[in-house]
Structure 1
Amino acid sequence: MISNKRKCITFFICLVTINLTACSSLSAPSQANHELKTEINTHISEQFKAYQENTNMNCQAALKPVEQQLTQQQADNELLIKTAKKIEQKLNQLQAKTPSSSTANCPKPTVVEQKLNGKVIVGELEWVYFSVVDEHFRARVDSGATTSSLSAKHIVEFERDGENWVRFQLLHQVTDLDGREIEAKIERTVRIRQSSSDKTERRHVVQLSMHLGKLHQMAEFTLADRSDMDYPILLGREFLQDITLIDVGQTYIHPKYKKSDLK
């Protein structure tokens, strides 16, 4: 009887031991995971704290020169404000010393008439204006030439109302004659001998209205191809005599003609 009881007790103890061992083996991994998570969280917290501290230090190091620049700029601005106030005070003092009724009387500019003994002085080069085309052109003044000359090409003769007329184009390869077409009555025909040749050349003479500054008159021009000349228009003695004097040391003495000059 007693022996049976001992066997039962021994069996019970064995069951309890087996259960405790099984429970111990099941709870061991859970505890290890908890410890690992705790260690990881602690490491992450330490790393994040170190990152924050490092970031704060870098930001402070970067902001330090900016703060210094701002401080210097503020000091410079204060100095400029003080200087401006001093200048303003000096200006106010000067204005207070200057009588308010005083005004500067500047002399009126005088207009120098380009004349001598009633004759208009012209330079070696001048601007001339032709009303027939409403344009200004450069002209060379030459007292050695008898008649004035105009650069013309594509000259065509025709008859109008029983009179001889001519149609031509203002052309010059290096200056400002751009091919404007003009029609004019032929006043006469002349023969011109070039200084570089013994041959004479027949040229038509036309009369055109011309302005040189405020000087206005009808002038005669021979029509010739002046492409090899520096200037498309030459003013000769017939235009210059009795009304002009030439100052070869000057050019463009007279401004371009304006229609308002004669109003």
Structure 2
Amino acid sequence: MKTFDQLAVIGLREWINLPDLGMIGLRAKIDTGASTSTLHASDIQPFERDGAEWVRFTAHLGTLVQRPHRCEAPVVTIKTIKSSNGQAQSRYVIRCLLAMGDRGWPVEFTLACRKHMRYRVLLGSKALVDGQLVVNPALTYVQDKPLLRKPSGAQ
């Protein structure tokens, strides 16, 4: 069996921060079957800033009690995503810093309503590849809770 020392091990669920959006202490579910990561968002409103397309949306912090958190981010693109039930949906894509443990790297997130889902954040395979992570599905919350500030080595 081959091993790869440069890859960090994570479990099926991990604590993350999205410091560019001011979001701290989010529980994320790892979804190796999804290519793109997804962030729960509502009240999504596109707007223009300095000639560039941006999006304003409400994210939701907390697990039992949801606290609305207003965010703004530049739009990377609009992507058509096919959900697990086969329905296609156009979604805004943003890029922001993801902090996990003592590491951080930029990740693209599609914005979608996940209000009926247990986890408001899904981390897809592209985020795992970019973060040089491997998943042990028998584990959860392997990494320490991320630092509140931008971690060292953040891009």
TM-score, normalization by structure 1? 0.52
Q: Where is the helix percentage greater, Structure 1 or Structure 2?
A: 1
Deviation at residue 163 of structure 1 after TM alignment = 0.8
Larger Rg: 1
Task: Give the 5 Å matches for 1:112-261.
Answer: 116-131=4-19, 132-171=21-60, 174-175=63-64, 178-197=67-86, 199-241=87-129, 243-258=132-147, 259=149
Distance between the aligned counterparts of 1:159 and 1:260, measured in 2? 27
5+ residue gaps, structure 2: none
Distance between the aligned counterparts of 2:109 and 2:51, measured in 1? 22
Distance between the aligned counterparts of 1:261 and 1:186, measured in 2? 24
Deviation at residue 260 of structure 1 after TM alignment = 9.1
Do the aligned partners of 1:175 and 1:232 also contact (CA within 8 Å) in 2? no
4+ runs deviating over 3 angstroms: 172-177, 259-263
Q: Where is the strand percentage greater, Structure 1 or Structure 2?
A: 2
Distance between the aligned counterparts of 2:107 and 2:62, measured in 1? 24
Do the aligned partners of 1:207 and 1:220 also contact (CA within 8 Å) in 2? yes
SS at match of 1:240: helix
SS at match of 2:40: strand
Do the aligned partners of 2:82 and 2:88 also contact (CA within 8 Å) in 1? yes
Distance between the aligned counterparts of 2:151 and 2:120, measured in 1? 25
SS at match of 1:230: coil
Q: Which amino acid aligns with 1:202?
A: S
The number of equivalent residue pairs is: 148
Deviation at residue 159 of structure 1 after TM alignment = 0.5
RCO higher in 1 or 2 (8 Å CA, sep ≥ 6)? Answer: 2
Distance between the aligned counterparts of 2:109 and 2:66, measured in 1? 15
SS at match of 2:41: strand
Per the alignment, do residues 123 and 136 of structure 1 end up closer, same or farther by CA in structure 2, a change over 3 Å counting?
A: same
Distance between the aligned counterparts of 1:218 and 1:261, measured in 2? 12
TM-score, normalization by structure 2? 0.87
Query: Between the two proteins, what is the percent identity of the paired residues?
Result: 30
Distance between the aligned counterparts of 1:137 and 1:176, measured in 2? 13
Distance between the aligned counterparts of 2:63 and 2:150, measured in 1? 30
Per the alignment, do residues 260 and 216 of structure 1 end up closer, same or farther by CA in structure 2, a change over 3 Å counting?
A: closer
Distance between the aligned counterparts of 1:162 and 1:195, measured in 2? 35
5+ residue gaps, structure 1: 1-114
Deviation at residue 116 of structure 1 after TM alignment = 4.3
Per the alignment, do residues 261 and 152 of structure 1 end up closer, same or farther by CA in structure 2, a change over 3 Å counting?
A: closer
